[in-house]
Amino acid sequence: MLRLEKLSCGYGAIRAVEDLSIDVPAGSTLALLGPNGAGKTSTIMAIMGQTTIHAGRILFEGSDITRRPAVTRGALGIALVPEGRRLFSDLTVEENLTVGGYCRSVAHDSINRERAYDLFPWLYERRKQLAGSMSGGEQQMLAIGRALMVEPKLLLIDELSLGLMPKMVDLCLQAIERLRQGGLTLVLVEQSAARALEIAERVCVLVSGSAVFFGPAAIARADTALFESFLSSRPQDPTAQQERR
């Protein structure tokens, strides 16, 4: 579904990610983890076409989309739940969902809204409420629902649990699990490594823009001490990185 080949990207001349190669099979979930400033969000934004690509390629369903304009990626089937949600606070729940389906026909609008309401019944109950008046957890549900209006094949989620109460985190993760079981391909950036590993099949750990681990999530679950050392580490020497891959 998704492949990054020796990707180096950043913002202008600044490189936030260097020589990153990962692949995400269709229907699988990848957890993208690492310390603050590791390059996780930069990787997500590169897939969405929102960073400067210095080298490498991004392949989606076998096609090279490295230089495709960002505005076209929703129509390809790539959707983002951004960090901080970034809703239209002065629009209602229903209006936010409609805006989310900008690249799909009007005929699909009601079908996709029902999909979002089925996943999050609270959204239906609050469909006429302004998004800015909702709690953080409700807004995160709306951000996920808005992304689903694109009818994505690949859903990118940046910091799902950031700033949310534990109950709301549980509800959002339950919804993500439903989407995963339905066959949606997911890339999840998450501050809680333990929660991310509950649903991911693969994990990539970034440190200072470089991958220090990429492999089955089962390895991380089996050796938590080793895995925690990755999350708190500084960049390792290239030979050690390659061995861990």
Lowest mean pLDDT among 27-36, 61-70, 160-169: 160-169
DSSP letter for each residue of 113-160: HHHHHHH-HHHHHTTTSBGGGS-HHHHHHHHHHHHHTT--SEEEEE-T
Q: What local confidence, expressed as pLDDT, does residue 227 receive?
A: 66
Distance of CA 52 to the CA centre of its chain: 19
Chain-wide mean pLDDT for the chain?
87
Check whether 130 has a pLDDT greater than 70.
Answer: yes
- How does pLDDT run across 187-224, given as a tens digit for each residue? 999 888 888 888 899 999 999 999 998 999 888 888 77
Within this chain, do residues 101 and 113 fall inside the same structural domain, yes or no?
A: yes
Kindly write down the DSSP assignment for every residue of 160-178, as one continuous string: TTTT--HHHHHHHHHHHHH
CATH code, domain with 30:
3.40.50.300
Domain boundary among 130, 151, 172: 151
- Specify whether 142 is located in the same domain as 216: no
pLDDT digits (tens, 9 = 90+) for 158-173: 988 888 888 889 899 9
For residues 115 and 106, the model is more confident at: 115
Q: Does residue 160 sit in the same domain as residue 47? A: yes
Distance between start and end Cα atoms, the chain: 20
Task: Let me know whether 70 and 129 are in one domain.
Answer: no
Quote the pLDDT of residue 76: 93
- 3-state class (DSSP) for residue 194: helix
User: Quick one: pLDDT at residue 73?
Assistant: 92
Tokens of 110: 């009601």
76: part of which helix (H) or strand (E)? helix 73-76
Beta strands 185-189 and 154-158 are parallel
Contacts of 180 (CB under 8 A, 6+ apart): 29, 186, 199
What value does the mean pLDDT take over residues 66-80? 93
Show the domain range for 115. 80-151
| Domain end residue (candidates: 122, 151, 180) | 151
Domain endpoint, select from 136, 151, 166 = 151
Whether 95 and 165 map to the same domain: the answer is no
